[in-house]
Amino acid sequence: MIATIFDHGATLQELDALHGKGDFVSQEEYMEFLEGDQQTAMAEIVWLARMRDDGALFHAALARISDPVLRRDLSLTPCLEAGHRLAVERASRERLQAA
């Protein structure tokens, strides 16, 4: 059996954040979406862990991803998000200073 975000008690709000409002209302529908893809299931758990700021779950799920490119991309995403956030903050400060 594939471990999924449902095994980690994903809330309706978390499901909506991962997939859009109302996409999955049951684990059965989610399993149909996955079509047995363990890598996608683990990537989703990585995203869930990131939303919860759960480092232990993040690293455990990341370690179970065998695709090195997917594992690298998932581990780099926080750095990219932080860089984007800093760029937005810098642009906002520059606009305020220019006004």
- pLDDT score for 22: 73
Average pLDDT over residues 11-17: 86
d(CA 31, CA 33) in angstroms, rounded, equals 5
Q: Is 69 in contact with 43 (CB distance < 8 Å)?
A: no
E strands, 20-87, where? none
Nearest-Å Rg of the Cα atoms of the chain is: 17
Residue 81 has pLDDT above 70, yes or no: no
Question: Which range marks the domain in which residue 13 is found?
Answer: 5-98
User: For the chain, what is the domain count?
Assistant: 1
- Phi, psi at residue 2, to the nearest 5°? -85, 135
Average pLDDT over residues 35-59: 91
Structure token digits, residue 43: 């990537």
